[in-house]
Chains A and B, each alone.
Chain A
């Protein structure tokens, strides 16, 4: 697993992909920080997180689009799948590599927060920077990012074409977040319950409100596990077809 992780991680920086991802992430988060906090004198970062949530929905599929698709196209999967590495190790390595890149991007939020905290605490108005809200948002965005990554890798495993992988994952990501809206239009109770149970956005919003519920954390973790598991099944199934 570590061999795969190391190679995948390095590969984000031997191609422009990793740099472009980080540049776009830093650029947009900076822009939203300026719009929602700096220009209006607010120290509440929740709108920065909210905007980044939507950016990630589109940006992360681009980070993950080549993970599996490219292996298949270049036939390098003949190396990884015939080497003594378990399927779990293979998928976990690829997931973690993308996740670490994502974390490097998301870590910039801490820098913004420290800056804002210094400004707020030094303003002499007696107000404190809302660290609880910040951590809620941060944990939420990290879990959400991990879900988007596992979705992206899963869709990437279904195709040899990177573009299709990217567009497909953006579609799935949007759908995941639209469940909340869709459930409003469903009148059959048990269907409504099912859709509500799968709805991501509402549970994410609880994090942004600073509520750490174990139930919600488990929900996101299980989404991550399910999509990574599906990826493993897709690779396994291809061997048997």
Chain B
């Protein structure tokens, strides 16, 4: 379980992480999203005790990483952006070293063999790490984080450099690990976060801009008063009918399909659900509704919206004004 309270980090006068707070409960996978340079890796480095924070607190299973680092670190498995591999060692020598370094108590042979099996590096156990491909190096890095079966796993872009098949395997593995570990995972790949994570934290320019489940995020950000509908019937008449709905602000005809079907973008007053009204009016005139969906955003759109400042419309302007 991880608790982050008001964590910040400044490099000189530059504020890299600006007072972010979130929690990740037991058996929860938390996705950490943000554009390049948003402060993801810095935050992860603070959580693992590699960097100290300039302010705030990070608790790992209730232990402050700055106050009792050795105890807190025992519960953490960390895969940094660049896997920390000793290139002159073989995979097995390396894992043995990590095992000793973390002062593990589990039965050595079987524990390491199991990890190798999980991340599928059994066939390269005896090879020198320098000679492995990027994908294998990444997996050895992941194996290193799993040694000692730590309760908290912090993974900085774990699927970088893997081929599509391996990506799916690693994602499945992370999902499986998430059942009895706390996992924090950072990624650029939004579909990955959506597929794997229970909760998503988005940071931008060091600030937390969202902290919610994937569904809630897309639900909250996409206005449910915006609908896309396809209705069969003469477009002019249908448009006029739709505009008669009292809460309607704007009706826009996107395109026509097969001359008889029109696709409309409906924009109602905020907070108003006009779906039933649309149905009733169209049913009365016998114009079938072929499709109706609220314009829910995909995670890509949410991400862009949050990080380009469209959502908090004034961020960019504010920055320019200063």
Contact = CB atoms under 8 A, between A and B. Distances in A.
Contacts of A75: 80, 82, 84
B50 A81 contact: yes
A170 interface: no
**Interface size of B as a range:** 20 to 34
A79 B73 CA distance: 11
A205 interface: no
**Interface size of A as a range:** 20 to 34
Contacts of A10: 93
Given A79-B84, A84-B74, A240 B100 contact: no
B89 A78 contact: no
B103 A84 contact: yes
A3 B147 CA distance: 14
Interface in A58-79: 74-79
**Majority-rule SS of A interface residues:** helix
Interface string B61-91: 0000000011101101010101011111100
Most chain-A CB neighbours within 10 Å: which of B11, B45, B100, B144?
B100
A74 B87 contact: yes
Interface string B92-113: 0100011011110000000000
A82 B48 contact: yes
A11 interface: yes
A121 interface: no
Nearest to B88: A14
Nearest to B74: A84
Contacts of A84: 69-71, 73-74, 102-103
B50 A78 contact: yes
A169 to B, nearest CB: 22
Most chain-B CB neighbours within 10 Å: which of A75, A77, A83?
A83
A76 B51 contact: no
B71 A11 contact: no
B52 interface: yes
Contact of B78 (A3, A4, A76, A78): A78
Contact of B70 (A76, A79, A86, A239): A86
A182 B179 CA distance: 68
Nearest to B83: A75
A55 interface: no
Contacts of B70: 84-86
A233 interface: no
Closest 7 pairs (CB-CB, A-B): A3-B100, A79-B84, A82-B48, A3-B101, A78-B80, A84-B73, A76-B84
Interface of B: 11, 45, 48-52, 69-71, 73-74, 76, 78, 80, 82, 84-89, 93, 97-98, 100-103, 144
Interface of A: 2-4, 6-7, 10-11, 14-15, 74-86, 239-241
